Amino acid sequence: MPTLPERVQSLLTYEYPIAAILTGGVYTRPLHRVKTPVAFSPDKIHYNPAAYIADARYFPHRQVLAVPTAYQGFLDVVLYAEAHDGGKHDLDEVRPKIIALMDQWITDSDHGKKVFFTWSGITGIRDSEELRGAIVSIVTFTITGVWYQAE
């Protein structure tokens, strides 16, 4: 069964307006010149617009009277582009498309239970600390659902 980052990767990869902007691809691991070569131009110095789906961070729901198997988590769509006006334009164009597609999205969790995505935040565009010459922006979604309970 695909993980949540893999489900998001499939969703963004096959959604034409988003895929047309993210020509460097959508990945479930950080960008790397060898492991994600499409995210880089042939000279391996410049970047194609790309996304990395960060693993969800889950937190048990602590409300005493709540369903004890409920949880809340967060998933980040980390967007990268070349650090110039064209790259900034690409990120400005793709962020609202991702939010429109994924806000209020319902899908299966890693354990077959339904989870609900809600857009919860976005960072401004800034220089990437990981990739010199790239800019980055992060779109964060809150995920709510139910933990898998073994019988």
23: domain CATH number? 3.30.2000.30
Domain range for 106: 4-146
Residue 37 resides in a domain: yes
pTM: 0.86
Query: Quick count: other Cβ atoms within 10 Å of Cβ 122?
Result: 16
Would 151 be classed as within a structural domain? no
The phi, psi pair for 92, rounded to 5°, reads -60, -35
* Total structural domains within the chain: 1
Asked, for residue 21, whether it belongs to a domain, the answer is yes
The reply to whether 114 falls in a domain is yes
pLDDT digits (tens, 9 = 90+) for 49-93: 999 998 766 555 555 555 556 777 889 999 999 999 999 999 999
The answer as to whether 80 is a domain residue is yes
